[in-house]
A = this chain, B = another copy of it.
Amino acid sequence: MTKKNQSLLAYVKVQDAVDFAILMLKGQGVNKDDSVKVAECLVEADLRGVQTHGMSRLPIYVKRLSEGLINATPKMILDKPVAACASLDGDNGLGFLVGIRAIQEAIKMAETCGVGVVAAQNSNHFGMAATYLLQAVQAGYFAFVFTNAAKSMPPWGGREGLFGTSPFAAGAPGGKLPPFILDMSPAVAARGKIRLAEKRGEAIPEGYALDENGKPTTDPTAALRGVVLPIGGYKGSGLSMLMEILAGVFTGANFGGDVPDQYTVWDRPQNVGHFFMVLKPGVFVTEKGFRDRMDILVSRVKENPRAGGFDEIFMPGEIEARLEIERRQSGIPYAQSDILLLTELAREYNIAEMPYNVH
């Protein structure tokens, strides 16, 4: 499953990565329970191969916590004016904590109402959207998870960033076969992927982005100064607008390009917005009926005759789940540049370095 990649050099044991993140977060005044939650989210992203949203983000969260731009001890407020919908004020806490609280509240409402919606504001970057999908799916629920983000993609026909490359994320439980865990950017490539290429000194394929003059580029640095492009032209642009409406306009958070980039803006919090919707399948068909029907669908997906160049057809999220099993055994492979970043972080904050093996 894992591609041989010369930049992957160091293996870190899962518990060592979790413990390191916990120490770093506690050092910034995040309480123990919350530190564990966030650390597990970060490591889960790395386990699933979504390394743009894993430990490589820890330094920025720590920096923003230490600058007081993220609140280490948020007092979140849930406002629930009706039985099936709530607004959650994240009190500028870590996005992970806001996301976990929000999906839990949405699940509670879905349990009694069949559906639950939580609109969250005053939050921050919440990492990998699949984290929240998995919490709902493992409890037997369908979920939508949307967020907005700093501007990096233009509306179709434009050339300046307005929308984030926020994930479109939806999940449904399976029966005996793999569940449906779709977590995709409406961009041809996520900004985090371009940032990773820059960090690794690699070129990006053409079609990923325009430079600041609106011209195609393969230089990640030029691309990061320009805009990324949506899938399917106006279609991907429409999806990103949809997420800006639900996660931004609806929630009361910053929107329309006003969410500041967490890497470059140091004078104010992000006020990111998130949107969570959870459905209880048992309300429509029985829960067993739903799981049995999912298994029929999944088996038909996997048994579809292959197109040229494909050995196997995967459910969305299935490759990531297999990678997680593999990496829980092997440890998590990190690029040397990520290890350096985390070692520097440890030294800066006077915390024991994260142990790793090179092999």
Chain A residues within CB distance 8 Å of chain B: 81-85, 87, 112-115, 117, 119, 142, 154-160, 162, 168, 170, 172, 180, 182, 184, 186, 188, 210, 214, 231-232, 234-236, 238-239, 241-242, 244-246, 248-252, 255-257, 277, 279-281, 283-285, 289-290, 293-294, 296-297, 300-301, 304-308, 310, 312-314, 316
Contact = CB atoms under 8 A, between A and B. Distances in A.
Given A84-B113, A182-B242, A252-B284, 12 more contacts: A85-B113, A115-B277, A154-B307, A160-B305, A170-B242, A180-B245, A231-B231, A234-B316, A250-B279, A250-B281, A250-B284, A256-B293
How often does this chain occur in the complex, in copies? 2
Contacts of A307: 154, 157-159, 210, 214
Contacts of A84: 83-84, 113-115
27 contacts: A82-B114, A83-B84, A84-B84, A84-B115, A85-B279, A115-B117, A115-B277, A119-B284, A154-B307, A156-B313, A157-B312, A158-B301, A158-B305, A158-B306, A158-B310, A168-B239, A180-B241, A186-B235, A210-B307, A231-B231, A231-B235, A231-B236, A238-B316, A241-B297, A249-B290, A256-B297, A256-B300
A310 B157 contact: yes
A330 to B, nearest CB: 25
A58 to B, nearest CB: 28
A250 B304 contact: no
A296 B157 contact: no
Given A180-B242, A245-B180, A290-B249, A155 B301 contact: yes
A242 B317 CA distance: 13
B115 A244 contact: no
B155 A284 contact: no
Contact of A245 (B114, B249, B283, B294): B294
B285 A252 contact: yes
Contacts of A313: 155-158
A28 B155 CA distance: 46
Contact of A113 (B113, B154, B158, B184): B113
Most buried by B among A155, A184, A308: A155
> Which 10 residue pairs are nearest across A and B when measured between Cβ atoms?
A231-B232, A158-B304, A85-B114, A157-B310, A82-B114, A157-B313, A182-B238, A159-B307, A84-B84, A84-B113
